[in-house]
Chain A
Amino acid sequence: MSVQPSLRLRGLRKRFGQRSALDGVDLTLEGPQIVGIVGPDGAGKTTLLRAIAGLLEIAADEASVLGFDLRKDVRALKAQIGYVPQSFSLHRDLSVYENLRFTARLHRLGNEEFERRTESLLARTGLLPFADRPAGALSGGMKQKLSIANALLPEPALLALDEPTAGVDVMARDEIWRILEERRGKSLVLISTSYLDETEACDRLLYLDEGRVVAQGTPAELRAQVPVRLLRAWGSDPRAIAKAAGALPYVVSARVRGPFARIEIAAEELPGEARLYADFAGLVPRVRLLEPAPVDMESALLFLSRKQTQGTSAP
C-alpha cells in the first residue's frame, strides 16, 4: 500500500431517533497504526466504528476516510475497509474456507491470489485444521479469528474491529493480536476493547464518552495525564489493609488485588512523602511494604471515567 491511510473527522454526529450516539467527534489519524477505542459502555464506540466503515448515514463538518467522503457515496470506500462487528456475522452454514472464498469473490480476487492469502491467513489464525468445518460450529474464539481473517482477506487499508476479543480466551486473544501486529505497519487498525493489556498494546488510544473523543494519545501520554498517585501496600492481610487505607482522607480508592492493596491518591491532595509514609506505617494491620507504582492503564481509564461522571453530573 503506497498511499498512507488517513482519517479526518470534524464534528461527526449521529442520532438514532431522539438519542444522540455521536455528538461531534473530532479525530485525525495519519498512517498505518493500531488505534484502540476505549470508554464506558454506551459511549458510542460501536457507532463510531460503524460510521467509519461507511455503514451509517451521518452528519459532519468534515468526514474523510481514506480520502473518501462519508457523507457521499461510500461504495468505493467499502472495498478498502475491513469491518468486524461485535456479533458473529459470517455465514454459519458455509465452511471456513467457503466463507473466505465468498468474500474473495465479492472483492473479485483472482483464484491464485485467493489461495495464497487464504492459506497464509488460515495458518496464522490456527484455523487450517478447521477449514472445512461450518462456521456456525466453531467455538467463540475461532469464530472471531475467522471474522478477522475474513476482513483481512482483501488486504484493506483500514480495519475496524468492534470488541473482537470480548468473551475470547487468552490463547485465542494472543493469536488475534499476533495477526494485528502484522498489520501494524501496513493498515490503519481501529479496535475497541475492554482488556487493559490490549489497550497497552495500541499505538494510540481514543477515550470516548457520551459520543465525543474526550482524551487521546499514546498509552504513555494517557497515563501521564492522570493526576493520580498509585501505591501498592503489601502485608499479610491485604484486605484489611485496603479497608484501613480507604479511611484515609486523601485516598481515592483502595482495593485488594491479590497479595497487595492497590491504593489511588489524587495528586492534588497528596500529602508530603513523610506524612504519607507515616500514615501508612500507622495502619492496622501492619503494612510491611509501601511501594510507589507507576500509574497503569486501569488508573488512567478509571480517572477518565470519574472525571466524566463528575463533569456531567450537574444538570
Chain B
Amino acid sequence: MSAPIISVRNLTKRFGEFTAVDRLAIDVAPGSIFAFLGANGSGKSTTIRMLIGLLRPTEGSIEVDGVDVIRHPRRVRDHIGYMGQKVSLYPGLSLRENVEFYAGLHGLAGPELEARWGALRERFELSDAEAERPENLPAGLRQRAGLALATLHRPRVLFLDEPTAGVDVHSRGLFWELIREEADAGRTVFVTTHFLEEVDYCDWASFIDEGKLIANAVPEDLRRRYSGGYRVHIDGEPAQELTTPAIDDAFFAELDPLLAVRPGARVRIDSPSMTDVFRRVIAESTGARRAQP
C-alpha cells in the first residue's frame, strides 16, 4: 500500500467512565473507498468527529493528508469534505444559493465556481433541482446535492456518515456510482453505512464494536474468513457441487477442466452475503468477549 492518506494510531476517546473509542489504529490508502462499519453506538460517529477535528481525542494520533488533526484541527478543513447524517443544506435557500454559500466559505466564486459547479451539476443530475429549495427535493436528490457540495472545493478526502440511510434503492445505486467516480479521480472516500451489502462497492472494510476494531480487511478477505465460502453448482452430467473460499485464479484453474468435460453446462454461484459475513464477525467478537471476561 502506498503511504496512507489517513493514519490513526492508538486513538482513544473517553467520556467520563465510558470508553467510546478504544485504541483504534487504521490506515486508509489514497484513492480508496474505505467502509467504516459498526452497530449503533459502537463509536463510529465519535471516530469520524475526531478525524475531522470536531472532537478532541483523549489519546492517540490522527494524520489526515499530512495534517496532524489533533494539533491543527482547523488546518485539515481545506483537505476534507464532510457530509453528516443529516444532509446540511439550508432550508429556505435554493440549491444554487446553497452552492454559492459553501463555495464562498472556501473562497470559490466567479468563473472557477461556474466551471466546477457546472460539471458537478451535469454529472450528479442536479440541473432540474438547481432552483428548488432542499426541503422540496426527494431524499435521494438531496443526498446527491449534499455530496456535490462536499466535493465542490476538491478535497482530498471525503467523509460520508451514513450517506444512503433512508434513500431508495435506485438513488443508492446512483450514489455509489458517483462515489466510485470520485475515488477513481483520486479522492479518498471514508464512508459509513448500515446497508452492509454496500461493502461490496468498497475497497476496504473496518468494523468496530464497543470502540474496538474487530475486523479490518479487503471485503473479499472478510468473506474468506467469516463465511463458508462460495458454493458453486455445475449443471451437466454429472452435476457437481464445490465450495471455494474465493472466486479467483485458483478457482478458475479448478473450474475450467470441469467445464471442459461438460460443454455448455451452466454454473450457479451462491455468494455469501456481506450481511451474513458481518453477522458472523459480530457473533465471533461477542463470543470472544464472553469467553474472556
User: Which single member of A142, A236, A292, A302 contacts B249 (CB below 8 Å)?
Assistant: A236
- For window 22-44 of B, CB contacts with A under 8 Å fall at 38-42
Q: By the criterion CB–CB under 8 Å, are B138 and A302 in contact? A: no
B90 beta carbon closer than 8 Å to chain A? no
B219 beta carbon closer than 8 Å to chain A? yes
Contacts of B40 in A (CB 8 A): 139-142, 167-169, 172
A31 beta carbon closer than 8 Å to chain B? no
Q: By the criterion CB–CB under 8 Å, are A302 and B39 in contact? A: no
Interface string of A165-187 (1 = CB under 8 A from B): 01111111110000000000000
Contacts of A39 in B (CB 8 A): 168
Q: Write the nearest CB–CB distance from A48 to chain B, whole angstroms.
A: 15
Q: Write the nearest CB–CB distance from A251 to chain B, whole angstroms.
A: 15
Given that A195-B195, A289-B252, A292-B266 are known contacts, is A305 also in contact with B177, CB under 8 Å in the complex?
A: no
Q: Count chain B CB atoms within 10 A of each CB in A39, A258, A305 and give the residue with the most.
A: A258
| The stretch of B8-16, B51-59, B76-84, B275-283 that contacts the partner chain | B275-283
Q: By the criterion CB–CB under 8 Å, are B194 and A289 in contact? A: no
| Assembled-state Cα–Cα distance A255/B247 (Å) | 18
- For window 167-191 of B, CB contacts with A under 8 Å fall at 167-173, 177, 180
B115 beta carbon closer than 8 Å to chain A? no
B124 beta carbon closer than 8 Å to chain A? no
Contacts of A140 in B (CB 8 A): 40-41
Q: By the criterion CB–CB under 8 Å, are B247 and A305 in contact? A: no
Q: Write the nearest CB–CB distance from A31 to chain B, whole angstroms.
A: 28
Q: Write the nearest CB–CB distance from B16 to chain A, whole angstroms.
A: 14
| The stretch of B66-74, B93-101, B150-158, B196-204 that contacts the partner chain | B196-204
User: Which single member of B41, B200, B248, B249 contacts A139 (CB below 8 Å)?
Assistant: B41
Q: By the criterion CB–CB under 8 Å, are B170 and A40 in contact? A: yes
A291 beta carbon closer than 8 Å to chain B? yes
| Assembled-state Cα–Cα distance A306/B177 (Å) | 17
Interface string of B215-238 (1 = CB under 8 A from A): 000011001000000000000000
Contacts of A217 in B (CB 8 A): none
Q: By the criterion CB–CB under 8 Å, are A301 and B169 in contact? A: yes
Contacts of B266 in A (CB 8 A): 291-292
Given that A167-B162, A302-B170 are known contacts, is A196 also in contact with B139, CB under 8 Å in the complex?
A: no
Q: By the criterion CB–CB under 8 Å, are B279 and A174 in contact? A: yes
B165 beta carbon closer than 8 Å to chain A? yes
B211 beta carbon closer than 8 Å to chain A? no
Q: By the criterion CB–CB under 8 Å, are A234 and B170 in contact? A: no
B140 beta carbon closer than 8 Å to chain A? yes
User: Which single member of B165, B167, B171, B246 contacts A259 (CB below 8 Å)?
Assistant: B246
Given that A40-B138, A40-B168, A196-B169 are known contacts, is A170 also in contact with B248, CB under 8 Å in the complex?
A: no
A298 beta carbon closer than 8 Å to chain B? yes
Given that A40-B140, A140-B41, A258-B219 are known contacts, is A170 also in contact with B169, CB under 8 Å in the complex?
A: no
User: Which single member of A170, A291, A301 contacts B267 (CB below 8 Å)?
Assistant: A291
Given that A168-B40, A194-B167, A291-B267 are known contacts, is A259 also in contact with B247, CB under 8 Å in the complex?
A: yes
Q: By the criterion CB–CB under 8 Å, are A260 and B39 in contact? A: no
| Assembled-state Cα–Cα distance A42/B170 (Å) | 13
Q: Write the nearest CB–CB distance from A303 to chain B, whole angstroms.
A: 10
Contacts of B138 in A (CB 8 A): 40-42
Given that A41-B139, A194-B168 are known contacts, is A167 also in contact with B201, CB under 8 Å in the complex?
A: no
A257 beta carbon closer than 8 Å to chain B? yes
- For window 18-70 of A, CB contacts with B under 8 Å fall at 38-42
B123 beta carbon closer than 8 Å to chain A? no
Q: By the criterion CB–CB under 8 Å, are A196 and B255 in contact? A: no
| Assembled-state Cα–Cα distance A195/B38 (Å) | 17
B107 beta carbon closer than 8 Å to chain A? no
Given that A41-B138, A166-B165 are known contacts, is A256 also in contact with B194, CB under 8 Å in the complex?
A: no
Q: By the criterion CB–CB under 8 Å, are B173 and A302 in contact? A: yes
Q: Write the nearest CB–CB distance from A232 to chain B, whole angstroms.
A: 7
Q: Write the nearest CB–CB distance from A69 to chain B, whole angstroms.
A: 32
Given that A258-B220, A288-B252, A292-B266 are known contacts, is A167 also in contact with B168, CB under 8 Å in the complex?
A: no
B75 beta carbon closer than 8 Å to chain A? no
Given that A236-B248, A301-B169 are known contacts, is A196 also in contact with B194, CB under 8 Å in the complex?
A: no
Interface string of B260-271 (1 = CB under 8 A from A): 000000111101
A197 beta carbon closer than 8 Å to chain B? yes
Q: By the criterion CB–CB under 8 Å, are B197 and A196 in contact? A: yes
Contacts of B247 in A (CB 8 A): 234, 259-260, 289
Q: Write the nearest CB–CB distance from B223 to chain A, whole angstroms.
A: 8
Q: By the criterion CB–CB under 8 Å, are A41 and B168 in contact? A: yes
Apart from A163-B166, A236-B249, A301-B168, list 18 A-B contacts with CB within 8 A: A40-B138, A40-B140, A40-B171, A41-B140, A41-B171, A139-B41, A141-B39, A141-B41, A167-B194, A170-B196, A197-B197, A197-B275, A236-B248, A257-B201, A258-B200, A258-B274, A291-B269, A302-B173
Question: What are 30 pairs between A and B in contact, CB < 8 Å?
Answer: A38-B168, A40-B138, A41-B138, A41-B141, A41-B166, A41-B171, A139-B40, A140-B40, A169-B39, A170-B196, A173-B194, A194-B166, A194-B167, A194-B172, A196-B169, A196-B197, A197-B273, A234-B247, A255-B177, A256-B201, A257-B201, A258-B220, A258-B223, A258-B271, A289-B252, A289-B267, A291-B267, A291-B268, A302-B170, A306-B170
The 6 residue pairs across chains A and B that have the minimum distance between CB atoms: A258-B200, A139-B41, A169-B39, A41-B138, A41-B139, A140-B40
